[in-house]
Every structure is written in structure tokens, then in C-alpha cells.
A and B are shown apart, each in its own frame.
Chain A
Amino acid sequence: MSKKKRIVSIIIFFVLIVAIVTGIILLGAPRPHAETLPEVMRDAVLHETMKVNFFGLQVNPGLISAYTVTAILAVFAIIVRIFVIPKFKKIPGKFQLVLETLVGMFRGLAKGNSPEKNEVLSAYIFAAGIYIFVGTMFELVGVQIVTTNGASVSLPAPLSDINGAIAMGCGSYLFILLGGIFNNGFHGLFGTVKEFSLPLSMSFRLFGALLSGALVTELVYYPMFLSFGLPVIVGVLFTLLHALIQAYVLTLLVSIFYGEVSEKKLEKGKKKKKKNKET
């Protein structure tokens, strides 16, 4: 990466963060308190009663999960960067092999679905895949947090919160849109807008899949006699499967659509020439 490109990407990165922070502040109007509902299931879906204080804001526990996951991953990444990566060998050890396989897998997925432009895409699906997987597995840890009404709640998967799922789905759509515009101009824009149902489908697929996992686990836990032993298998298996499947599905979808909208269209003249050659 040249110096100029690096500076541009850093500027874009910080502008993006500033824009989002501004949005958060502007949209942070006080909301009326949600009404209390007794059902556990309803609350698991809507998070109306269980709110957590986040720097003065009343937020769903899913958001705390999201930031916790980010903090864990950040610490992990920094430790790996400082202590492991400088010691990388040409013939990889076990941990190096895991990291290289992860990076190689997402790069392969990006290259396979978007052969022309895939540098940013592979970085994006790498981050998204890891976030979805680790975020979903995070609910197994069961970190307890105190809500604003004094109750204790176990931190759920960030994407089982509808806001997290929408952010992920719409963020991915936005990423595809930007990729299309940068790589393919008007064609890219048109190609992405044509798939207007994509953000909705991606958001609700994530939300539905992760929430259904949580609900099924809740149902299994509900009767007393089923809450011994069984959750160890059911909970872990469901969560692991969701984590893997959802990470794979979202990264695959993003790759496919990104590849489609960033693909260069052949000009009409070239097409005609090709046809002439064939005949």
C-alpha cells in the first residue's frame, strides 16, 4: 500500500467514526420508558424491560455484549500483533497455522466470489466473520450484568439484539454499495440499489437465526427437569452451529453481492467484436 493510499484510508476510517458518533449524539433524544411485560420470551425478543446503563444511555444488553466482544478481540489482536506475529516462521507452528488459515480462508472466499476487486472485501468479511462467530459464542460465557431496574441479566449474543443485527445487515449493504460505486461507478450503484431487499433480508436473517437459537435454548431451560445436563449439549451445539453458519452465510452473501456489483461490465463494442470473432 502506498503512503498516499494509507493516509486516505486512515482519514476515511476516522471520518466514518466521527460521522457515526455525531449520529449517535443527534439521535439520542430521550425515549419514553417501555412498558413492563412479564413474559421472558417477549423480553428476549424485544428487550423492553431489561435495559443497561451505557455511559448514561439506556441500551439493550446486546450492545454491551458487542462492545465487550470488541474489547476482547482488540486485546487479543494487540497481544498477537506484539508477541506472536514478529515471531512468525516460514514453516508455521500450530497457532500461526490457525491465523494463516483464517486469513487465507476469508481471502479465498473473497477472491472466489469477487475475482477483480477483493482486497477490502476480504478484510471486511474477515472482521465480520470473526465478529459474528465470537459474538455468538460469547453468549455461552454468560457474563452477568445488572440492569437499570436492579435485575441481573446474562449478556446475550450481540446479534440477537435486533439493533445489532440491523447494524450488521445494513452495514454490509452499505459496504457493498460503496464497493460497487468505487469499483464500478454508476453500474455498481445501480446493481446495488436493484438489490434493495438485501439489507432487510441480511438483517432479519441474522436476527432471526440468532434469536431462534436463544429462544429454543430458553424453552429447553424452562422446565426444571430439562435444565440439568441437557443444556450442556443443546446450548453448546446450537450456539456453535449458529455461530459457524451465520458467520459463513453473511460473509458468503457479502462476497457474492460485492463481486457482482464490482464486476466490470464489458463494453458493447467489445461484445460485438467478440461476436464477430466467434462467427
Chain B
Amino acid sequence: MNVPLNIDWQQILLHLLNFVILFGILYFFLYKPVKDFMEKREAEYRQQHEDAKNALEEADRIKTEYEGKIAGAEEEISAMKSEAGAKNAEERTRMLEQAKADAAGIVEAAKKRGEMEHDKIIAEAQKEIADIVTTATEKIVLSADVSKSYDEFLKSAEGNMKNE
């Protein structure tokens, strides 16, 4: 088969056969294993990336949840604080009222005791006056010196007053 440029169909096919064999060998022994390894590694890293992303999302979710909880707790604390404040105020008012009532009682009791003391003193004084008067009267009657008795009476009364 004479073709210009020394082209030989048989040799072309031999070259083609050579290349097909080479293609097969390179594909099965070199290209495919390397490609598979690279794909496997890529899939692994993609999976890791995915896992990390999921973990991050989960962490974010938990963070948001806890932030919500903390905000709730702060609100609760402030509510409890205000409640405690109100209770304190109420207690204080109650204690003040109690103290006032107690004080009023004490004052009242003191007044009563004072009055009683006063009455007692008055009664004693009256009794003493009566005694003095009786004594003086007796003395006057006995001495019959009225002006002297009168003076003695006055002195005696004055002395009693001073003693008191």
C-alpha cells in the first residue's frame, strides 16, 4: 500500500495499539489509584469540614439558648430583688408601726405610773399634812399658846416641806 509521505496504515494501527495499551496501563496502575486516593481524601476533608460546621452551628445554638436563659435569669433576679425590696419595705413599715405602738404603750404606762406616783405622793403628803395638822393641833391644844403654836405649826410644816 503506497501512500505519499511514507504513510503506512499498518504502522499507524501499531502506534494506535501501542497507545491503547499505554492508556490502559496508565489508567489502571497510575491515574485511577491516584485519583481515587485524592477523591477519598477530599471527601474525608469535606466530611470533616461539614462536621466542624455542624458542631459550630450546634455551639452557636447552645450559646444562643444559654444567653436566653441568662437573660431570663437576670430578669428573674431583678424581679426577686424588687419583690424582696417590697417585702423589706413592708416589714420596715410593720416594724416601725410596732415600734411606734410599743413606744406609745411605754409612754402610756409611764404616764399611768407617773400619775399613780403623783397620786401616791399627794396621798402621802396629804396624810403627812394631816399628821402634822393633828400633831400641831394636839400641841396647840396642849400648850394653849396659840400664836406660838401657830408659829410652831408653820415651822413644822416648813421643815416637812424642806425634808421632802
Contacts and interface: CB of A to CB of B under 8 A. Distances in A.
Interface string A196-211: 0000000000000000
B17 A29 contact: no
Interface in A89-104: 90, 99-100, 103-104
Interface stretch (A138-146, A148-156, A166-174): A166-174
Q: Which of B6, B18, B21 has the most CB of A within 10 A?
A: B18
Contacts of A122: 31
B18 A70 contact: yes
Contact of A90 (B17, B33, B41): B41
Given A163-B15, A167-B16, A27 B26 contact: no
Interface of B: 1-2, 5-27, 29-35, 37-38, 41, 44
Interface stretch (A18-26, A241-249, A268-276): A18-26
B34 A100 contact: yes
Interface string A19-46: 0110110011101101000000000011
A88 B37 CA distance: 8
B37 A167 contact: no
A60 interface: yes
A78 B5 contact: no
B6 A81 contact: no
The 10 closest A-B pairs by CB, nearest first: A167-B15, A77-B29, A163-B11, A81-B29, A127-B23, A20-B17, A77-B30, A46-B6, A167-B16, A70-B22
Contacts of B38: 100, 103-104
5 contacts: A21-B17, A103-B34, A164-B15, A167-B12, A170-B16
Nearest to A130: B26
A264 interface: no
Given A126-B26, A163-B15, 4 more contacts: A34-B6, A100-B38, A167-B16, A167-B18
A170 B12 contact: yes
Contact of B19 (A62, A77, A99, A168): A168
B33 A63 contact: no
B19 A131 contact: yes
Contacts of B15: 62-63, 66, 158, 161, 163-164, 166-168
A187 interface: no
Nearest to B11: A163
A67 B8 contact: no
Contact of A31 (B2, B19, B33): B2
B19 A167 contact: yes
Interface residues of A, number: 59
A27 B32 CA distance: 34
A16 B20 contact: yes
B9 to A, nearest CB: 5
Interface string A46-81: 111000001001011011001101100110011011
Question: Mostly helix, strand, loop or mixed at chain A's interface?
Answer: helix
Given A73-B26, A163-B12, A166-B7, A127 B19 contact: yes
Nearest to A54: B14
Interface in A157-190: 158, 161-164, 166-168, 170-171
Interface of A: 13, 16-17, 20-21, 23-24, 27-29, 31-32, 34, 45-48, 54, 57, 59-60, 62-63, 66-67, 69-70, 73-74, 77-78, 80-81, 85, 88, 90, 99-100, 103-104, 107, 122-124, 126-128, 130-131, 158, 161-164, 166-168, 170-171
A81 to B, nearest CB: 4
A6 to B, nearest CB: 10
A19 to B, nearest CB: 9
A166 B11 CA distance: 10
A127 B27 contact: yes
Given A99-B30, A107-B35, A73 B11 contact: no
Given A17-B21, A103-B38, A127-B23, A23 B11 contact: no
